[in-house]
Amino acid sequence: MGGFIWLPAVASILLSLVAWDGIGGIQQMRFVGLGNYADLLTIHPTFWRAIANGLIWLAGLGLVATPLGVLFAVLLDRRMRGSAFYESALYLPVVLSLALVGFIWQLQYAPEQGFLNQLLGRTTQGQLIDWLGDREINIWAALVAGGWRHVGYITLLYLAGLRSADPTLREAAAMDGATEWQAFRWVTLPVLRPVNVVIVVVTAIEALRAFDIPWVINRGQNGLELLSTIVANGLLGEATRVGYASAAATILLLLSVVPIALYLRRALRGDSGAA
């Protein structure tokens, strides 16, 4: 934990206070204090675009993909015919790496031979839709790819919670005349509160650490900027700026602390209650 997590995190925070191109030792570093953060907030051309895209990613996963996953879990919990097939189909994207998911959807969005353009045809102007090249729509196209995988993950988590819940509670609600929605809203949902907390935290962390799909598409540029891609481009771009990239990584770390702290608070409170 110290060698692979805490030490690199502390080193990244310290590096965010210096100007360094990654070449040479400590003698090549120049202390600039909060200068890298000031440059990010005022000079960097895509920083605020990255923040906006991060919020879009969080809203897409939280308000669309997560409710879909919960809906599929509720439907599969009824053990309808073919439920094993549907469960496998929904979970299959979860076992794929996000980079591979990006490659798969890159093929679907291809202008000439992509499935979507083959299905939809051309626009009224006779042009093919450039799903990944148009900076006005490529963030939404990338979000669909990320949501495709996230839906299966949420379905798995919530389905496990539903099947571990006491079925007599829902039976009692049905005997009292509650509809399915009322039973879910007032009985099932409160019982699954620990699962709900985990899902909210997982969704927030997934949105914050989004990187693979935008990077595979176009290295996180031309409308797909995220804080994570700013970090990568600062380290791997033509002009290496370690301090600059470390400042972006530190901001991302601070944003990630919020959902992690909420999760730990909930987990520790649960352990105290069990004790």
Average pLDDT over residues 117-127: 72
Kindly state whether residue 40 falls inside one of the protein's structural domains.
yes
Average pLDDT over residues 104-125: 80
**Residue predicted with more confidence, 139 or 274:** 139
Tokens of 232: 């990568």
Do 36 and 165 lie in a common domain?
no
Question: CA nearest 120: which of 130, 129, 107, 133?
Answer: 129
Amino acid at 2: G
The answer to whether residues 211 and 220 touch, using CB atoms and an 8 Å cutoff, is yes
Question: Given this model, what pLDDT does residue 275 score?
Answer: 44
27 pLDDT more than 80: no
Question: Given this model, what pLDDT does residue 193 score?
Answer: 83
For residue 124, what pLDDT band results from cuts at 50, 70 and 90? low
Report the interhelical angle of 47-60 vs 227-236 (nearest 10°): 140
What is the sign of the dihedral through the CA atoms of 70, 72, 74 and 79? Answer: negative
Question: Given this model, what pLDDT does residue 265 score?
Answer: 76
**Residue predicted with more confidence, 269 or 29:** 29
Kindly state whether residue 57 falls inside one of the protein's structural domains.
yes
User: What share of the chain has pLDDT > 70, as a percent?
Assistant: 93
Do 69 and 179 lie in a common domain?
yes
Average pLDDT over residues 238-256: 85
Question: Given this model, what pLDDT does residue 218 score?
Answer: 87
**Residue predicted with more confidence, 63 or 197:** 63
Do 64 and 164 lie in a common domain?
yes
Kindly state whether residue 260 falls inside one of the protein's structural domains.
no
Q: Which residues of 70-91 are buried (b: 16+ CB within 10 A; e: fewer)?
A: bebbbebbeeeeeeeeebeebe
Average pLDDT over residues 36-43: 87
Mean pLDDT for the chain? 85
200 pLDDT more than 50: yes
Do 52 and 37 lie in a common domain?
no
Mean pLDDT: which of 26-30, 116-120, 212-216 is highest?
212-216
Question: CA nearest 255: which of 215, 210, 205?
Answer: 205
114 pLDDT more than 50: yes
Kindly state whether residue 100 falls inside one of the protein's structural domains.
yes
Q: What is the residue range of 235's domain?
A: 1-46+227-250
For residue 274, what pLDDT band results from cuts at 50, 70 and 90? very low
For residue 270, what pLDDT band results from cuts at 50, 70 and 90? low
Q: Which residues pair with 31 in a beta bridge?
A: 18
> Which range is least confidently modeled, 39-53, 120-134, 157-171, 251-265?
120-134
Exposure on the CB side of residue 108, measured as CA atoms within 13 A: 13
Do 77 and 140 lie in a common domain?
yes
Do 55 and 42 lie in a common domain?
no
Q: Which residues pair with 30 in a beta bridge?
A: 19
Q: What is the number of structural domains in the chain?
A: 2
Average pLDDT over residues 165-187: 81
Kindly state whether residue 14 falls inside one of the protein's structural domains.
yes
Do 21 and 118 lie in a common domain?
no
For residue 158, what pLDDT band results from cuts at 50, 70 and 90? very high
Question: Given this model, what pLDDT does residue 123 score?
Answer: 63
Mean pLDDT: which of 40-49, 111-120, 178-187 is highest?
40-49
Do 12 and 27 lie in a common domain?
yes
> Which range is least confidently modeled, 92-96, 99-103, 163-167?
163-167
Kindly state whether residue 271 falls inside one of the protein's structural domains.
no
Q: Which of 224, 240, 267 is the last residue of a domain?
A: 224
- Cα separation of 163 and 158, whole Å? 9
